[in-house]
Structure 1
Amino acid sequence: MYVSLDVSGGGAAWELEQRRLAATEDDQARGMFFRGALHVIAFLGGEGSVARCKGVAGVWEINPFQLYSVSRYLRMVSTAARLLAPRQGGFDEVLERMGAQATVDFLASLFGRELLAESAGSPRLLLESLGDAYRMAVSYGERYPVWTGERSARFIMRRDFMPAAYHEGVLRGALEAVGARDVRVSGRQVALLDSEFELSWR
């Protein structure tokens, strides 16, 4: 079993390790998320950082549609965040950037194009469909909106392995992709694998 003893990212690094240890082999994510993270790592840290993160994750050739253990993804993301945080404003900033890239890659996929077509430019329809979209991309968790207004919602994530900062990037990117303006996303963790997000837009 891989156990990271490097906690140079502080509490955030320790938390990612706890999330990884909570994952089973049945908890899987598609390779598109690995490739998206590697795009960010290459842009911010260069090919040396990419090689190190691939090595830590034990993933070299990545099929964007294949499912891989999410624990490998968490190893990659945690290593990247520790490497890049000192130059990018902190651990959470790196995670949010990776989340935003994950949205770009997902929306460019067949699954994402179907989601955008079903949403028809409506942030409300997008959020209603987002739980189903996640189920096409990962094998774990539950996600759904609770409406608090015409242009606001609380988005609930249960048993998801990525921290709130990562999903702030995901949700902001998804809403902006359907034309939402002045998007505000504020997440909070309510348990190790459970988070809630306050969303609003124009």
Structure 2
Amino acid sequence: MYVGTEASSGGGAAWELEQRRLAATDEDQARGMFFQGALSVIANLGGEGAVARCKGVAGVWEINPFHLYSVSRYLRMVSTAARLLGPQLNGFDGVLHRMGSQATVDFLASLFGRELLAEAAGSPRLLLESLGDAYRMAVSYGERYPQWTGERSARFIMRRDFMPAAYHEGVLRGALEAVGARDVRVMGRQVALLESEYELSWR
């Protein structure tokens, strides 16, 4: 099993984000909406100075929400933001979780997200079944799918994904709550550098 220096925290250490960035190729891309969402979190917590610093580190100034950008740029932005904002949000993982939650809000507000919610029709099960396809509309890399462990529980598998578990805990919680799931529990663990699994339950 892969274990980072912050094994209990979902792999949020700065050095690990750098490892993930180095593993990315030019073909590994994410839509600009995720950059905008991250910058919204950064602006709310760190102000315009932090926004300018994160944009500069990422080398991205004008962002089109539907355009695909290198995920390595996104990882640079997130890593810088985590260092700047960590003290306010209980460290790297708190920042990553907040950004994952914001990513869900932004994706569900997009055309892709509205289609996903319409297909799910208020069903957490249908949402999780469709989530892999939704990811493929938002990013160019990776594989994601559920393994059912009960009527209201699942293990969600992510392969070759560049964001740490804490980030996707925020994503998955936000997605399930968006279709009316209550008492949502999400616990992620890193299996390898770019592989993670999430135990999900709700009512």
- TM-score, normalised via structure 2 length: 0.94
Question: For the residues of structure 2 that align with 1:88 and 1:142, how far apart are their CA atoms?
Answer: 29
Indicate the SS of the match to 2:191.
strand
**Cross-structure match for 2:78:** 77
C-alpha RMSD of matched pairs (Å): 0.9
What residue ranges of structure 1 are gaps of 5+ in the alignment? 1-9
Q: Which has the higher contact order (CA 8 A, sep 6+)?
A: 2
Question: For the residues of structure 1 that align with 2:167 and 2:175, how far apart are their CA atoms?
Answer: 13
2:58 paired with 1:57? yes
Matched-pair identity in %: 90
Q: 1:65 is matched by which residue type in structure 2?
A: F
**Cross-structure match for 2:120:** 119
Which runs of structure 2 are paired with 1:1-202 in the superposition (5 Å)? 12-202=13-203
CA offsets, 1:35-72, max 9 Å, x none? Answer: 00000000011110000000000000000000000000
The answer to whether the 8 Å contact 2:153/2:199 transfers is yes
- TM-score, normalised via structure 1 length: 0.95
What residue ranges of structure 2 are gaps of 5+ in the alignment? 1-10
Indicate the SS of the match to 2:13.
helix
Question: For the residues of structure 2 that align with 1:182 and 1:11, how far apart are their CA atoms?
Answer: 25
Indicate the SS of the match to 2:173.
helix
Question: For the residues of structure 2 that align with 1:150 and 1:46, how far apart are their CA atoms?
Answer: 44
Indicate the SS of the match to 1:116.
helix
- The total of aligned residue pairs comes to 193
